[in-house]
């Protein structure tokens, strides 16, 4: 019986092809640490917590760098960051439910917001966490719907719905603000 030699590559573990090198890991830090920190910080508005989460996520990444390829690292980082953030919220019994009445009350009775970004940030903080994350990933990081779906662990239709609802809520608040200033 004729023996067929397998290519050498077949004998190597798959991980050896995809695993991230130390250099790639450090490049990931350079490329994505700022974006991840921005995403987490804007999601929770807590500087210390954000730094801890970023630190934690990169520690996890290094622990699993053998299993994570450099091509997938950005998605991994944001997914891990989002999950860590949600876990942290759960631990702190964070309430991120959108409450329209409360939102309006907050915004109508708050001090005059002259800066659009300030209004938007206030409005953003009134959105449910999932909507907020979807919009932040979309606007800050420029992710496509399918990438956001992967990061947030939901399907693409849900991403569209969350972004739609989130933007509508923001538009509603901005519209009211326009009416006030008019």
Partner 1 sequence: MSINKNNYEAFLLDYYEGSLSENEKAELIAFALAHPELGIELEDQLQYLNNKNSQAVIDKNKLKSLAAPTDEEYISFIEGQLTQKEEEEFTELIKSNKTYKSNLEIWEKTILDKPEIIYPKKRSLKHYSITPVVYSMVSAAAIFVLFFTVFNNSQERQYFKNNGIRPNVQITNETEEDVFEFNFNKETNKQFPSLVNPSIIKAKDVIAKVYPEDTTNIKNAPKTSDQTQNDQYIEIVEENQIIDHSNETEEEKSLDSIISPKKDTELNTDNYQNIAQENSANVINTDAKDSYSVKEWVVNKLQEKEILDSTENDPTILEIAANTIGDYESKETDNEKVTVFKIGRFEYYRKKSKHL
Tell me how many residues contact partner 1 (CB under 8 A).
35
- Among 45, 51, 99, 118, contact with partner 1 (rule: CB under 8 A): 51
Which two structure tokens, joined as six digits, stand for 159? 């991403």
| Separation of alpha carbons 122 and 113, rounded Å | 10
The stretch near partner 1 (CB under 8 A) out of 1-9, 81-89, 96-104, 132-140 is: 132-140
174: contact with partner 1 by CB under 8 A: yes
Query: Residue 24, Cβ neighbours under 10 Å: how many?
Result: 17
CB closer to partner 1, 42 vs 150: 42
Q: How far is the CB of 8 from partner 1 (least distance, A)?
A: 26
Query: Which DSSP string corresponds to 122-154?
Result: HHHHTS-HHHHHHHHHHHTT---HHHHHHHHTS
Q: Is 159 exposed, middle or buried (0-12, 13-18, 19+ CB in 10 A)?
A: buried
> Segment contacting partner 1 (CB under 8 A): 2-10, 51-59, 67-75, 85-93?
51-59
Q: Which of 58, 47, 63, 64 is nearest to 81 (CA)?
A: 58
Nearer to partner 1, 99 or 175 (CB): 175
CA pair distance 51, 40, nearest whole angstrom: 9
Q: In this chain, which of 19, 38, 46, 70 binds partner 1, going by CB under 8 A?
A: 38
| Residue 64 touches partner 1, criterion: CB under 8 A | no
Nearer Cβ to partner 1, position 38 or 83? Answer: 38
Q: At what angle do helices 129-139 and 116-125 cross, to 10 degrees?
A: 140
* Contacts with partner 1, residue ranges (CB under 8 A): 22, 25-26, 29-30, 33-34, 36-38, 41-42, 51, 54-55, 58, 62, 116-117, 120, 124, 135-136, 138-140, 163-164, 167-168, 170-171, 174-175, 178
């Amino acid at each position: 019986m004729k023996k067929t030699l397998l290519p050498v590559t077949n004998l190597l573990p798959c991980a050896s092809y995809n695993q991230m090198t130390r250099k790639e890991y450090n490049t990931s830090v350079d490329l994505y640490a700022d974006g991840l920190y921005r995403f987490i910080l804007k999601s929770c508005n807590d500087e210390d917590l954000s730094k801890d989460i970023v630190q934690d996520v990169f520690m996890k990444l290094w622990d699993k760098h053998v299993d994570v390829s450099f091509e997938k690292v950005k998605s991994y980082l944001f997914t891990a960051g989002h999950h860590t953030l949600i876990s942290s919220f759960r631990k702190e019994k964070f309430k991120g439910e959108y409450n329209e009445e409360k939102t309006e009350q907050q915004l109508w009775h708050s001090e005059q917001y002259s800066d659009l970004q300030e209004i938007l940030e206030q409005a953003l903080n009134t959105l449910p966490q999932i909507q907020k994350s979807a919009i932040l990933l979309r606007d800050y990081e420029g992710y496509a719907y399918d990438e956001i779906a992967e990061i947030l662990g939901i399907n693409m239709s849900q991403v569209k719905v969350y972004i739609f609802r989130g933007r509508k809520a923001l538009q509603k608040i901005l519209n009211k603000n326009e009416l006030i200033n008019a």
